[in-house]
Amino acid sequence: MGKRADISLSELQIALMRVLWVRGETSTADVAAQLADERGLKHTTVATLLTRLEKRGVVAQRRDGRQLYYRALVDEADVRRSMVADLLGALFAGDAQELVAHLVQESEIAPGDLAKVRRRLARGEHDA
């Protein structure tokens, strides 16, 4: 997927994208149904959100009859890269070690799990 620079998305926009990431190309109706379920959004709201994402270039739309189908143009890794880098730059002086230290100090992760992650990666297991 694209390496486009700025892909900072809001929590809600990420929720929309996640539907596309999980299901691949999806109709407005199906995305809307899921978001209605998850957080009670009206389908016009979801339609608006999708058009905006399209205008912004992070998804593409395809028309079939009078229905629109959306597909992600950036994948989750792209967004993670971009947003983690932003956070790192803004709050950790770009120092990832500081971020890891923060995670440990705030008990988001146990010290021992660092080794676990390392072993997991060493074994070539890639993410979920």
The pattern of x and - marking residues 44 through 73 that bind DNA according to CB under 7 A reads xx-xxx-xx---x------x-xxxx-----
Closest CA to 61 of 51, 48, 52, 70: 70
DSSP assignment, residue 127? P
* Residues binding its own copies: number (CB under 8 A): 42
Residue 4 touches DNA, criterion: CB under 7 A: no
Contacts with its own copies in 59-98 (CB under 8 A)? 76, 79-81, 83-92, 96-98
Q: Which residue has the tokens 């390392």?
A: 118
Stretch that binds DNA, among 7-15, 72-80, 84-92, 106-114 (CB under 7 A): 7-15
61 φ/ψ angles, rounded to the nearest 5 degrees: -115, 150
Tell me if 9 sits within 8 A of 79, measured CB to CB: yes
Stretch that binds DNA, among 25-33, 95-103, 110-118, 119-127 (CB under 7 A): 25-33
Residue 36 vs 103, nearer CB to its own copies = 103
Residues 69-128 that bind DNA (CB under 7 A): none
**104: contact with its own copies by CB under 8 A:** yes
Q: Which has the closest alpha carbon to 56: 13, 99, 103?
A: 13
Residue 72 to residue 25: CA distance in whole angstroms: 8
114 binds its own copies (CB under 8 A): yes
| Shortest CB 63 distance to its own copies, Å | 30
Q: What is the layout of strands, in order, in the sheet containing 59-64?
A: 26-27, 67-72, 59-64
